[in-house]
Amino acid sequence: MNTAMALGFVTGVLVVAIVCAVLAKMAKKKGFVGKGEYDERQQIARGKAFTTAYAVLLVYLAVWIVFRSMEIPFFMEGISVMIGALLSIAVFVASAIFHDAYFKASESPRTWLIIISAVSLLNIVIGIGRLFRGETIAERLYDNMNLFVGALFVVVLVCVVVKRAMDRRAVED
């Protein structure tokens, strides 16, 4: 990584952090944040989801170490560890969603569905754009991380939609 690339990365991270801080402060001021908390049942379910996700990460890293010791090219890239982290996050989110512990009890998931949809679409469009420039996933894994992040958010979106459909069906019965 050259100096210009590192400087661009650091600048990007700082800009995103500042924008997030400003948006969080505005949301809190408007009353969108801080309404309600997770109840005890949700906290227990989130703890179990975290434990499961952590176990998945540990298993993934153990497998990663074995494959890396065999010098398989994909596992020699540092990005393969990041994919394990995204897998672990997906397990946590899916488990929390299906146990009604992802959103606070008093929170409507509608706003989050819009945000999740936008983030997934943005990441997938950026990732596909890079593929059309001729960069294959295998050649430039770091640059194609957007596809993996977009896929994670699609998984989250699908889980929320499926859970809402299951809840509606349960209410009808």
**Residues 50-55: what's their mean pLDDT?**
96
pLDDT at 69: 85
**In angstroms, what is the C-alpha Rg of the chain?**
19
How high does pLDDT run on average in the chain? 82
- φ/ψ of 171, rounded to 5, equals -70, -40
- Among residues 154, 159, 57, the alpha carbon closest in space to that of 101 is found at 159
- Is residue 154 over pLDDT 90? yes
**Residues 138-154: what's their mean pLDDT?**
77
All residues at 6 or more sequence positions from 107 whose CB lies less than 8 Å from its CB, including other chains: 35, 36
pLDDT at 139: 57
- Is residue 143 over pLDDT 80? no
- Is residue 115 over pLDDT 80? yes
Q: What is the reported pTM?
A: 0.74
Cα(89)–Cα(156) distance, rounded to whole angstroms? 10
pLDDT at 89: 94
**Residues 4-29: what's their mean pLDDT?**
78
- Is residue 68 over pLDDT 60? yes
What sign for the dihedral angle of Cα 79, 83, 88, 90?
A: positive
- Is residue 7 over pLDDT 60? yes
